[in-house]
Amino acid sequence: MEQLIEKGKYLIREAKNILVFSGAGLSTESGIPDFRSPVGVWTKYDPSDFYFHKIISDEKARAKYWRMSSEMYLDMKDALPNPAHRAIKRLEDQGKLLVVVTQNIDRLHHKAGNSPEKIIEIHGTAFSVSCLSCGKKYDRDEIENRLSAGVKAPDCDDCGGVLKPETISFGQSMPHEKMTLALKHARDCDLCLVLGSSLVVYPAASVPQEASGNGARLIIVNRDETPLDARADSVIRASVTEVMKKMVV
């Protein structure tokens, strides 16, 4: 593994515009459960219950969704950035970071100190809530207080519409502007660094694919195989935090 890390250090040293693409494997090392692992969220809940059309049309499904989402939010709220997050911040401090495109909804890149304008939360964030009808925004803790008081599926104060965390659910359209910007940066970067993503969730996974297809070097740090391993310049199957501590100096 040390040889792979040395190669990664060289590629980072030579790069001028690095796109970091981060997934759940980065957050799990800050104690946040993922979805698909043997102890992940989907061992407790059936993902088919949380398709967007069910959330907006079925109050019972919406209540179940809020119960799951609230459990996840409580794990995220007090979570702290790990050494890999801090290594990404060092890339920004060194002037090498073009952008972070993250599948994670936990705001840990913000907590680590990365500039908000350099973070694209491609699957949204759990830290704010909005009305699907009128667009009114709410602070997440305000809604959590309602849930704690016994409300099972909170509605909008202004119009009575459905409230939902500003995250992307199954069957919900991806944010067009964020995807467009992420793909633009993918074409502009000279190195794409994938951290803790299985690269099986599309269209998000098209970002590193686009980077590689446009000539960027590709480093993948993930415990399991990914569909892009064969295209990568370096694949390191190990702890993201342990690798990044050594690879970004």
Structure token digits, residue 177:
């502007």
What is the model's pLDDT at position 249? 86
For 209, the enclosing helix (H) or strand (E) is helix 206-213
In a shared domain, residues 150 and 67 = yes
196-220 pLDDT, tens per residue?
999 999 999 999 999 999 999 999 9
* Cβ 99 vs Cβ 117: under 8 Å: no
Q: What is the pLDDT of residue 170?
A: 85
**CATH number of the domain within which 246 lies:** 3.40.50.1220
Catalytic: which of 85, 123, 176, 185?
123
Report how many domains make up the chain.
2
Do 55 and 103 fall within a single domain?
no
What global pTM score does this model have? Answer: 0.92
Q: What is the CATH number of the domain that holds 152?
A: 3.30.1600.10
Q: Are residues 160 and 137 in the same domain?
A: yes
Looking at the fold, whether 100 and 25 belong to one and the same domain comes out as yes
Do 38 and 156 lie in one domain? The reply is yes
Lowest mean pLDDT across 43-57, 109-123, 125-139, 162-176: 43-57
Q: Which residue range is the domain that position 147 belongs to?
A: 34-78+124-167
Is the pLDDT at 142 greater than 80, yes or no? yes
Is there a single domain that holds both residue 136 and residue 247? no
Statement to judge: residues 145 and 229 lie in one domain: no
Decide if 110 is catalytic: no
Question: Do 87 and 245 form a contact (C-beta atoms < 8 A)?
Answer: yes
Q: Are residues 202 and 226 in the same domain?
A: yes
Identity of the residue numbered 2: E
Tell me, yes or no, whether 128 and 156 share the same domain: yes
Strands 137-139, 217-221: pairing is unpaired
- On the question of pLDDT at 39 being above 60, the answer is no
